[in-house]
Amino acid sequence: MNNFSEKANFIWSIANLLRDTFKRSKYQDVILPLTVLRRIDCVLEPTKEKVLETYAKLKGKLDNLAPQLCKASGFAFYNTSPFTFEKLLHDAPNLAANLNAYINGFSDNMREVLEKFDLRNTIAKLEEAGLLFLVMERFKGIDLHPDKVPNLEMGYIFEELIRRFNEALNENPGEHFTPREVIRLMVNLLLSQDQEALSQNHIVRTVYDPCCGT
């Protein structure tokens, strides 16, 4: 998969597993949060062991472990559970429980993001339908590490998924997605009257965007 469209197509295809079990309007409740979770999993995996070692070494010795764990992970978030997507799939009978434990292992800031997706409820529904392992296995099949999928491309993938879900529901995708050519036109129009001033050094302009989105 060499471009964001191919990756978006792969993730979109996972929704086929949900047919006859989930309503079409609920596909995004599964696909979007697990896309985010897979991205985070790939981001944290290279420093996972270092985080676990730091956690084991300092647990009970410091009141606030977060700064040291963030330093170990290399990011502003971390996960102290022993699980990754790969390890979760090695214990299929306990996948739901372990996946919830994996979510519990995230730092407060990242867990707050994931809780907004109501992911635990989605996990329970997938488990009840016998689909949790199949869906997780498919997500394991795509590498979303930033070395493979830079942040800009990841943004395109997520926007493309949102656009497709809204089109599938006959909703206006423009409510959630602005084509790049429209963005470029808007920026050019915005800057057209200030090009001479902005070409000088140390010029600061403040832009107010009341409709700022993705």
Domain layout of the chain by residue ranges: 4-198
Instruction: State the pLDDT confidence band at 194, using cuts at 50, 70 and 90.
Output: confident
pTM exceeds 0.85 = no
**What interhelical angle do 108-115 and 95-104 show, nearest 10?**
130
Q: Give the pLDDT of residue 47.
A: 97
Q: Is the pLDDT of residue 2 over 70?
A: no
DSSP strand E in the chain: where? Answer: none
Instruction: State the pLDDT confidence band at 201, using cuts at 50, 70 and 90.
Output: confident
Q: Give the pLDDT of residue 213.
A: 59
Q: Give the pLDDT of residue 100.
A: 97
> How many CA atoms, within 13 angstroms, populate the side-chain half-sphere of residue 118?
8
| Section 98-121 average pLDDT | 94
- What's the pLDDT tens digit per position in 21-34? 888 888 999 999 99
Q: Give the pLDDT of residue 20.
A: 85
Instruction: State the pLDDT confidence band at 3, using cuts at 50, 70 and 90.
Output: confident
Classify residue 56 as left (phi > 0), alpha (psi -120 to 50) or beta.
Answer: alpha
Q: Is the pLDDT of residue 108 over 70?
A: yes
